[in-house]
Amino acid sequence: MKAISIRPDVYWVGAIDWAVRDFHGYVTPNGTTYNNYLVVDDHITLFDTVKYDFARTTIKNIMEIVDPSKIENIVINHIENDHVTSINNIMSLTPDATIYITEKGRKGLERFYDISSWKIKTVKTGDTLNIGKRNLMFIETPMLHWPDSMMTYIKEEKILISQDGFGQHFASASRFDDEFIECASLQELEDAVIDYYANILMPFGNIIKNKLAEMQKMGIEIEVIAPDHGIIWRKDPGKILNMYMDMANGAADLRVAIIYDTMWHSTEIMTRPIMRGMRDEGVDCKIIKLRATPMSVAIKEFWKARATLIGTPTLNNKMYPSVAEFLHHVAGLRPKNRITGAFGSYGWGGGAVKETYGMLKEMKLEVFEPGVEALYRPSSEDEKKCYEFGRNFANRVKEYHKQFNP
């Protein structure tokens, strides 16, 4: 795709990765984009680069606008590989350019490249750079989502170049929210936002809230949010800001995700009466089998629902390995404001449900106890117990949910 004008002399010069389906372990069914931006002012400035596979694409896009040797400033907002691994290609075309980066970014960059001959200026929150008619302001955003991360605000344009924040893994022929909504559904876009937040930004909700409040205090008015992935928010940046605030505040649907795995279908059989019990109490639920579902999809479903039940058979006195893997991912994402419970089948001594509750408590999630267990094959009596467990859990979930929707 060619360079695209966002405003006069402000361009998207990035790349669309239609084919990527595994983004460092997360499934990306819709591909992704690597967005970077070029501002043609008295001092031509490039914001971020792209993943190494797409170096030629961004250079070609830049060449449609300017000779790359004329780039004087390069802002590196974030040094993760998908944004910085073509910086060497760019620097070879404009070796006298000055890189603007945080101190932590500089330290990271020298682990990737020999930067001894590069001009580098480290910046911190509030530092500014005049590039002609426009002024840039740098805003450090540590742990959103790497220690080096920052955003850059183009004051006169009221454009926030937000690196990974507000992004989505979504390859699309459209570059802007208003175009996207015409080409595809708003629901798809929202789902991509939630997917990204759940898998990458879930641990950082409080940092997000504080950073947005800080920007407000700094008097930053935003007309356009230009992230490093997915579509650019130019028609309704308030929409994505509100979505982020809601998610950071623990927003979730009044719904239960039953996330389970099974060896010989016994734990799977238990999911059905549990689901019926919940439905009879008016609580929606979704059943997700782990070995049939990519991990990042299961994480997204966990995040969307107010409540989760973990179903696991016992294997060698432990929870089933795929369930352990899932809970390991969830623990790393440090979820909050969710209620959980567990159930499962066993053949000999049991142990998986107890171990699962232990992990849920370690995560400091609200738990509903006791869980329900069945020996070998769920009997009709066990199915009745599962149904009652589903009903009771649903009622507890409704109560718990009220605090978020008073």
Nearer to ligand FEO, 27 or 252 (CB): 27
d(CA 53, CA 32): 13
82 binds ligand FEO per the rule CB under 6 A:
yes
Verify binding: residue 53, ligand FEO, rule CB under 6 A.
Answer: no
Question: Judged by CB under 6 A, which stretch of 35-43, 74-82, 230-238, 263-271 contacts ligand FEO?
Answer: 74-82
Of 78, 175, 255, 391, the one binding ligand FEO by CB under 6 A: 78
Selected binder of ligand FEO within 228, 261, 301, 355 (CB under 6 A): 228
Q: Which of 134, 175, 211, 229 binds ligand FEO (CB under 6 A)?
A: 229
Q: Which is nearer to ligand FEO, 194 or 263 (CB)?
A: 194
Instruction: Output 208-211 pairs: Cβ under 8 A, ≥24 positions apart.
Output: 208/144, 208/165, 208/244, 208/245, 208/248, 209/245, 209/248, 209/249, 211/139, 211/141, 211/144
CB of 169 to ligand FEO, least distance (A): 9
User: Active site includes 80?
Assistant: yes
Answer for which of 48, 140, 164, 177 binds ligand FEO (CB under 6 A) is 164
User: Bridge-partner residues for 258, per DSSP?
Assistant: 287, 309
What is d(CA 76, CA 90) in angstroms, rounded to the nearest whole number?
12
What minimum distance in Å lies between the beta carbon of 302 and ligand FEO? 21
Q: Indicate if 196 belongs to the active site.
A: yes
CA dist., res. 190 & res. 178, Å (int):
13
> Residue 17 catalytic?
no
Paired with 5 in beta bridges are 11
What is the smallest separation between the CB atom of 287 and ligand FEO, expressed in angstroms? 32
Q: What angle do CA 254, 258, 260 make, to 5 degrees?
A: 160
- Residue nearer to ligand FEO on the CB measure, 26 or 393: 26
Work out which of 15, 65, 83, 257 binds ligand FEO, going by CB under 6 A.
83
Give me the least distance between CB of 178 and ligand FEO, in Å please. Answer: 23
Of the two residues 164 and 382, which places its CB atom closer to ligand FEO in the complex? Answer: 164
The interface region with ligand FEO, picked from 78-86, 213-221, 248-256, 336-344 by CB under 6 A, is: 78-86
CB closer to ligand FEO, 34 vs 326: 34
CA distance 89 to 70: 14
Catalytic residue (one of 41, 48, 82, 268):
82
329 annotated active-site? no
Nearest residue to 118 via CA among 83, 82, 147, 88:
88
Residue nearest to ligand FEO (CB): 80
Taking the C-alpha atoms of residue 385 and residue 8, their distance in angstroms, rounded to an integer, is 66
Residue of 83, 169, 229, 401 marked active site: 229
What backbone torsions phi and psi does residue 151 show, to the nearest 5 degrees?
A: -120, 160
Between 21 and 133, CB nearer to ligand FEO: 21
**Distance of alpha carbon 217 from the chain centroid:** 25
Q: How far is CA 386 from CA 344, 368, 376, in A?
A: 10, 14, 15
By CB under 6 A, tell whether 177 contacts ligand FEO.
no
Q: Which contacts of 215-224 are long-range, i.e. CB under 8 A and separated by 24 or more positions?
A: 215/139, 218/126, 218/139, 220/137, 220/139, 220/153, 220/160, 221/158, 222/158, 222/159, 222/160, 223/157, 223/158, 223/159, 224/6, 224/7, 224/157, 224/158, 224/159, 224/160
In the set 9, 53, 72, 80, the catalytic residue is 80
The residues that are catalytic are: 24, 78, 80, 82, 145, 164, 196, 229
- Footprint on this chain of ligand FEO (rule: CB under 6 A): 78, 80, 82-83, 145-146, 164, 228-229
